[in-house]
Amino acid sequence: MEKVRLGIIGMGNMGTGHLRSIMKGECPRIEVTALADTDPEKLKKAGQSFGAAALFDTPEALMDSGLVDAVLIAVPHYDHPRIAIEAFSRGLHVMTEKPAGVFTRQVREMNEAAANSDVKFAIMFNQRADPIYAKAREIVSSGGLGETKRLVWIVTNWYRTQAYYDSGSWRATWNGEGGGVLLNQAPHNLDLWQWIFGMPKTIRAFCSVGKYHNIGVEDDVTIYGEYDNGATAVFISTTGEAPGTNRLEISGTKGKLVLEEGKLRFWKLKEDERMTCFNCKDGFVWPETDYEEFSAESPDGHPILLNNFADAILDGKELIAPGEEGINSLSISNAAYLSSWTGSSVDIPVDEESFEQHLTELCRSERREKKTVTVNETAEALSERWKVRW
């Protein structure tokens, strides 16, 4: 096999965005052979702009066609696990859009199905391709910060207008997306948080519903997390602030990292702070540090992750974002929701039954509206939108 024969399921913004990127030649080892959407209108439009692929009106028909080795799942969040499981059962490789799903129970089932299959499973956490985040991960995981102490991430530059929310009746609804900023914009950051700093054990979160927009889900969130080793994390995100901030600070016993404005700054202590604390005879000291700085352009991570997916299939290369890891960011957001709904601290793994009960009730009581606003947007804006923004 020289090229991966890819079927794209879902011809919405993300699916057509990936299609365009592949059509432009950004993924030389991928050939799009099939497209699927349950909406005939969308499917027709996609077929018109890309005649080389076969068109299917269900994911199953696409998967059963024999035309694809792999599928890219770009449908509403709720359906990711179900379709991925169908693909695994047919021996097809899977790249799913983020988030992994909405319910961790379904995502666990998806992960089990992946484990029992012999195919590659990846998730579109394109921001992992950013060299600055990768460098932070390398420093933390190699012990460059010593024992971790604290993560503080202010990522409030996901600004969205009311027109954005009015542009699709599924947007920012419990029934359509299963949540707001935590499930749509922040999953990238929640993933990077756990990728770089590991998984918290307990979450206390404060989610504000419709604080800045006329929507029924959260558009502002503050999360406090605690770790087994005593480290803590604070994560702040919103779609209602401009100009926003993207500043990630991580500290440990051997120093501190600050990622901001496209730069990683690294203060490295000459002596582990725990030694200074207990050996120093002075009460007030300012421990000495070395200083290093890294900067790099933020690339478009989408084709990087698609190419990595193809390399994994064709050459057995390691995945940048294994699909199984999608459950981690989802567990943090689910814990944050449950904490906010119950007004109390929530342990991870989350009580799935309690989460499902709460969310199901929110879906049941949600008022459905038909939205007809069309937002101005260019065809090329999509990659830009999901790039790391400093």
* Nearer CB in complex with a second copy: 90/201: 201
Query: Could you give the CA distance from residue 341 to residue 46 in angstroms, rounded to a whole number?
Result: 40
Pairing state between β 30-36 and 54-56: parallel
| Shortest Å, Cβ 220 to a second copy | 8
User: Nearer Cβ to a second copy, position 143 or 230?
Assistant: 230
Nearer to a second copy, 147 or 352 (CB): 147
Smaller CB separation from a second copy, 86 or 218: 218
Closest by CA to 210, choosing from 168, 169, 160, 176, is 160
SS3 291: strand
| Closest distance to a second copy from the beta carbon of 25 (Å) | 26
Under the rule (CB under 8 A), what is the footprint of a second copy?
149-150, 152, 154, 156, 159-165, 167, 204, 206, 208, 211-213, 220, 222, 224, 226, 230, 232, 234, 236, 238, 240-243, 245, 249, 251, 255-256, 258, 267, 269, 273, 276-278, 280-287, 289, 343-345, 375-377, 381, 385
End-to-end CA distance of the chain: give it in Å, rounded.
40
Query: Quick one: 60 or 272, whose CB is closer to a second copy?
Result: 272
* Dihedral class, residue 100 (left if φ above 0, else alpha if ψ from -120 to 50, else beta): alpha
Evaluate whether 335 touches 345 at the Cβ level (below 8 Å): no
175 or 245: CB nearest a second copy: 245
Strands (E), 17-120: 30-36, 54-56, 70-73, 93-96
List of residues 6+ apart from 322 with CB closer than 8 A: 121, 122, 123
Rounded to whole angstroms, how far apart are CA atoms 218 and 290?
A: 41
Residue 273 CB, nearest distance to a second copy (Å)?
5
CA atoms within 13 Å, Cβ hemisphere of 192:
28
Nearest-approach distance from CB 102 to a second copy, in angstroms: 22
Phi, psi of 262 (to 5 degrees): 75, 10
Query: Measured from the CB of residue 222, what is the shortest distance to a second copy in angstroms?
Result: 6
The nearer residue to a second copy, 107 or 205, going by C-beta atoms, is 205
Rounded to a whole number of angstroms, the minimum distance from the CB of residue 1 to a second copy is 38
Torsion angle defined by CA atoms of residues 262, 388, 157 and 15, in that order, rounded to the nearest 10 degrees: 170
Give the whole-angstrom CA distance, residue 188 versus residue 202. 20
| Shortest Å, Cβ 172 to a second copy | 12
Minimum separation from the CB atom of position 234 to a second copy (A): 6
Q: Give the nearer residue to a second copy in terms of CB position, either 51 or 343.
A: 343
